[in-house]
Amino acid sequence: MRDSAEGDPVPHSMQGQLAIVTGAASGIGLATCQVLAERGATVVMADIAADRLQECAGELAGQGANVHPIQVDVANAFSVQALVAAAHAVGTVQILVNCVGITGLLGKPAHEVPVDEFRHVIDVNLIGAILLTQGVIPQMLEAGYGRILHVASIAGKEGNPNMTPYDTSKAGLIGFVKGAAKEYAPLGVTINALAPAVISGPMVDSQPPAVRDYLISRIPMGRVGEPREVAETIAFIVSPECSFTTGFVFDASGGRATY
């Protein structure tokens, strides 16, 4: 545990820990890489956007962060296996933060959405989370310690109209987290979820203005969240100090959901 200038332990220190962060080239994922690195973690940054990933990793490395960029397609089992193997070559993985998410087709009611669109969004948002969890769990169980955090969405709790592929994938992710967390609770590994509302970044920027306005209108704070705000919450969830909470869906919704 590092000491602060005053001699007190630094809260939520990640010194000596190795984290995998997916969705690391933008938004919440990138902010999480920065926060974890600031707390002393070595971070394996993973994203499907290779060029952007290299750029972001270079910027963080220039700030003194210990980062390792690895391209990954989380919906592809072989790609996930390669990511986990690359991380294991760096060291023992104590932390997985999965920030991958796509919205899929927007603006259409459920009966007009092709079933292949549901499959694509579920493959990325849900199956990807399952593959990542399966990849890191064995080493965590062997060590008797691990922290896994999947970024879900307020849409998985409450649903948003004309976003049913996204709603479905994130609700499924929450169900996976709750079930898996209970399996590993006695074994030193916690698995939690985080449900953001509207957070500034590429996903929100890509949505039609009418959709953004509707989503923001549901937030009592009356504004979008910032990636750094969410990343600070994530840093606590995956810290050693968050030791008696598992299977929980943390809130980052500006008051939209209080349960």
Residues 140-187: tens digit of each pLDDT: 999 999 999 999 999 999 999 999 999 999 999 999 999 999 999 999
In a domain, 205, yes or no: yes
Residue 245's domain is classified under what CATH number?
3.40.50.720
Rg (CA), the chain: 18
Residue 1 located in a structural domain = no
Confidence grade of residue 94 (pLDDT, cut at 50, 70, 90): very high
pLDDT at 2 > cutoff 50: no
According to DSSP, residue 78 is labeled H
In a domain, residue 56? The reply is yes
Q: Which domain holds residue 27?
A: 18-251
Q: Which two tokens stand for residue 16?
A: 């000596």
Average pLDDT over residues 20-49: 98
Mean per-residue pLDDT of the chain: 93
Instruction: Establish whether 259 is a catalytic residue.
Output: no
The confidence score (pLDDT) of residue 145 equals 98
Intra-chain end-to-end CA distance of the chain, in Å: 33
What is the total count of domains within the chain? 1
Of 166, 184, 214, 259, which one is the catalytic site residue?
A: 166
Residue 258, in any domain of the structure: no
12 in any annotated domain: no
Q: Is residue 147 part of a domain?
A: yes
Angle at CA of residue 150, ends 146 and 156, nearest 5°: 145
pLDDT of residue 1: 31
pLDDT of residue 3: 41
- Choose among 70, 62, 77: nearest CA to 19: 70
Assign 4 a pLDDT band (cuts: 50, 70, 90).
very low
**Band of pLDDT at residue 210, cut at 50, 70 and 90:** confident
**Residue 59 pLDDT greater than 50, yes or no:** yes
Q: Is residue 126 part of a domain?
A: yes
Q: Is 232 a domain residue?
A: yes
State how far the Cα of 10 lies from the Cα of 41, in Å rounded to an integer: 13
pLDDT at 188 over 80: yes
